[in-house]
Structure 1
Amino acid sequence: MNAELAPTGSLRVGLVEAPSAGLVFISRSTAGKPEGVTADLSAAFARTRGLPLAFTVFPNSGAAASALQAGAIDMSFMPVDATRRQVLDFGPAYYDLESTYLVSGASGITDVAQVDRPGVRVIAIDGTTTIRASARTLTQTKPVAVPSVAVAVERMRSGQADALALSRDTLQPIVPQVPGSRIVTGGFQQTQVAVALPKGRPAALHGVTEWLDDAKHSGLVRRIFDAHGFGSVPVAP
């Protein structure tokens, strides 16, 4: 199974970076080391297989998905939608995600329905399930793609956008970075975040699925959530 899982001899894992680590995104230590839930999950899995681990960090999950599809990496963790299922294989979910909006204080918006108005400047991260769901659900305005969470935060901070579409857990640490901002009530997408592999690797998919199911049942995923300050967030069943 290792030959199919890691054809280069190292487990090449794609991680997605943001200014603050969350349940999907990683951040960097002062030494530049990736830190976060997905980094810890990857390291735990690599140890069980006796494989050296090689991280590649991407600015958004769309870029990680493209790298998986091209076979440039072997595994990643990302939100699931129908578009991605066409080109990637997914194992078990570890987190149930809700997408919603962070809005500026000047916008006066308080709930998700109020975002859908003409002239509201919505931004979202390029190539993600969230931007696709935002585009499907907005009828009076449309999201504009930006390349990374860091760029999105800067646009909100500088007043170049009124609303940022992202997962609720990732938006929470952004609130203090954008003075006067708030997270709206309600959401526009509920999906799962799961382990993702290139298509055509059935033995690898079976092995990853078996491991992650066991990691959830044994409490390992719970301990990783807790260690990163997500004690109140349930692990996906």
Structure 2
Amino acid sequence: MAEKLHVPYEPVVYAKNAEVLEAVKTGAADVAFTNASPARAKLMDFAPVYLRIELGYLLAEGSPVKDVGEIDVSGRKVGVTTGSSSDAELSHDLKNATVVRIATIKDAIGQLTAHQIDAFATNKATLFEMAEKVPGSHVLQGRWGEEHHAIAIPKGREAAGDFLRGFTEEIGESGLVLDAAKRADLKGVITP
């Protein structure tokens, strides 16, 4: 993208996703490649979606759950990252299970391992990485939704819209995104 715009590429690393979103919202960052949720669309503008990833559950060892439809049961504790799109959606959608807000993925791994939560919900790319650190856990087959990744820019930069639409179309048609996902062994990618 930087090459096409003839500008220097300067990556900025933030410790938390909330910091990335704040940087885009305030204009401290020019672009971010992130989940394009309805809540985030109120704070920033998005190009078209370039990547879709399944949303699912990581189950603690010994879980009796066999199907996504069995998650919303009274007494079941489902972890989500505080303030995440999973938090917003599942806090609304789950009527019987208890949604447990957890500060970090590292904390979620600890709570799953200690059986303080029964499941953790987020995108499957993250869940498969977590599963490697939680003995006996497994990612439940099926999905409860999709995460849509798109390029985010600060509000008020409408002039960038045409460029971003064209760029997104180009990286999709060229296979760049799916090739990168395959090289990275990104799990849960929904292919067109």
Give the shorter-chain TM-score range.
Answer: 0.7 to 0.9
Paired with 2:12 and 2:2, the residues of 1 have a C-alpha distance of 11
Structure 1 residues 220 and 184, CA gap change in structure 2 (3 angstroms): closer
Deviation at 1:164, TM superposition (A): 0.3
Q: Is the CA contact (8 Å cut-off) linking 2:124 and 2:187 kept in structure 1?
A: no
Deviation at 1:107, TM superposition (A): 3.1
Q: Is the CA contact (8 Å cut-off) linking 1:63 and 1:127 kept in structure 2?
A: no
| TM-score, normalisation: structure 2 | 0.87
Q: Is the CA contact (8 Å cut-off) linking 1:59 and 1:147 kept in structure 2?
A: no
- Of the candidates 85, 89, 92, which is equivalent to residue 48 of structure 2? 92
User: What does residue 16 of structure 2 align with?
Assistant: 59
Q: Mind listing any 5+ residue stretches in structure 2 that lack a counterpart?
A: none
Spell out the pairing of 1:125-144 with structure 2 (5 A cutoff). 125-144=81-100
Structure 1 residues 198 and 79, CA gap change in structure 2 (3 angstroms): same
**Are 1:225 and 2:188 an aligned pair?**
no
User: What does residue 37 of structure 1 align with?
Assistant: none
Structure 1 residues 85 and 137, CA gap change in structure 2 (3 angstroms): same
Paired with 1:169 and 1:106, the residues of 2 have a C-alpha distance of 22
* Helix, strand or coil at the partner of 1:216: helix
Q: Is the CA contact (8 Å cut-off) linking 2:74 and 2:98 kept in structure 1?
A: no
Query: Counterpart of 1:214 in structure 2: which amino acid?
Result: E
Following TM superposition, where does structure 1 have runs of at least 4 consecutive aligned residues deviating by more than 6 angstroms? none
Aligned residues: 191
- Output one character per residue of 1:127-160: Cα deviation in whole Å (capped at 9) or x when no partner: 2211211112100123222222222222212322
Structure 1 residues 205 and 157, CA gap change in structure 2 (3 angstroms): farther
Q: What percentage of residue pairs aligned between the two structures are identical?
A: 26
Q: Mind listing any 5+ residue stretches in structure 1 that lack a counterpart?
A: 1-44
Aligned-residue Cα RMSD (Å) equals 2.2
Structure 1 residues 155 and 92, CA gap change in structure 2 (3 angstroms): same
